[in-house]
Amino acid sequence: MALLIKSGTLVTAAETFQADILVDNERIVQIGTDLPGPGNGEVVDATGKLVLPGGVDVHTHFDLPMAGTVSSDNHFTGHRAAAFGGTTTAIDFVVHGPGSLAENIDHWHAMADENAAIDFGFHMNITRLDGQVEKEIPGLEKEGITSVKVFMAYPNMRLSDGDIFRVMRIAREHGLLTMLHAEGGDVINQLVPEALAAGHTSPIWHALTRPTWGVVEATLRGAMLAAQADASLYIVHMNAGGEVDQIEYARQHGVKVMGETCPQYLLFTQDNLRQPDGAKWVCSPPVREAVDSARLWEGISRGILQTVATDHCPFFFDGTKPIIFDGQPVAFPGK
């Protein structure tokens, strides 16, 4: 069936202007002014409204097991929320569990395929590296996956710099993009048990044990590894102004590095962690200071950062109380 969207304000990657859009068989066939109605098709008056392409959220986590529970959105509920906000494609991360990469991908398809409400794709986490995994990485493209993610933090997920370098080289050779979680894992692993031993368990300590200098250093270190590997690199969830400085420097010196930030780092600060309900603002990496948010906004406006994604990974604030979802009580254990 044909669809005519009339008199909307069209927003494209290049310009913003008022026009009509004619859609036939789910494809845009004409853009212009005063387009005639599509016969028996539908006409939507978009006067005073913005008409945008569907959003692509390149960083999401559905059905993610973590800290004795699981993220509270599965692929259906998460996709439905995305569609409600105008996002029509979401890319999730396949957890690198036991078994081969192909077996892990099959497991994620089993959770996603029948539940998907929008278009979706996968990145592949690489959280251990041996000869077998190295042999499997080149086969990811046949699975429809063209990006791998490596970590500099989390004891059960991080790779050494040497292993990250090896992944980058393999990715470069086979046309894959390496994504990097950049944090100072060694320092975090020292600071967290010290804080716990001292009884510092309020939400602000989540940020204080993951220091800003650590992400700045890790971002530059990631750029160094990419430069030596002659590989393309994508830094996920950038949260500190100093990270923008580092990738600006790296790009000026020919390193093929891109940056992503998220709404939480643009809109919230550590002051939110100090509130009575500060646990609602806990995310990893943590939110920073207002000066960091300002530099991230500048990075977006100047094209230093290429992407705003969500890193969507929700958990129930109070896992002891169910909510009503589609008329049924739903509860997940909290973190």
Output the domain CATH number for residue 7. 2.30.40.10
Q: Which residues contact 141 (CB under 8 A, 6 or more apart)?
A: 174, 175, 176
What's residue 1's pLDDT? 79
DSSP state of 140: G
| 205 and 303 belong to one structural domain | yes
User: What is the pLDDT at residue 68?
Assistant: 85
Averaged over 262-284, what is the pLDDT?
Answer: 97
The predicted-structure confidence for 124-151, as pLDDT tens digits, reads as follows 999 999 999 999 999 999 999 999 999 9
| Residues 45, 136 share a domain | no
Q: What confidence category does residue 172 fall into, taking pLDDT thresholds of 50, 70 and 90?
A: very high
pLDDT of residue 188: 98
Residue that is written with structure tokens 């230093």 in the block? 304
CB 253 within 8 A of CB 245: no
pLDDT band at residue 332, thresholds of 50, 70 and 90?
confident
Domain with residue 179: its CATH number is 3.20.20.140
Per-residue pLDDT of 45-60, as tens digits, reads: 999 999 999 999 999 9
Domain with 38 in it:
3-51
* Whether residues 92 and 47 fall in one domain: no
Q: Are residues 148 and 219 in the same domain?
A: yes
Q: Are residues 171 and 300 in the same domain?
A: yes
Question: Tokens at residue 58, please?
Answer: 């390149």
In contact, 318 and 334? CB cutoff 8 Å: yes
Other Cβ atoms closer than 10 A to 286: 26
Q: Is the pLDDT of residue 104 over 90?
A: yes
Tell whether the model's pLDDT for residue 5 goes beyond 90.
yes
The answer on 198 and 150 residing in a single domain is: yes
Residue labelled with tokens 């010196």: 253
| Amino acid 334: pLDDT | 80
Burial of 132 by CB count in 10 Å (0-12 exposed, 13-18 middle, 19+ buried)? exposed
- Look at residue 331 and tell me whether its pLDDT is greater than 90: no
159 and 298 within one domain: yes
User: Model pTM greater than 0.85?
Assistant: yes
d(CA 121, CA 75): 11
70 and 94 both lie in a single domain: yes
Q: How far apart are CA 245 and CA 219, in angstroms?
A: 10
Count of structural domains, the chain? 3
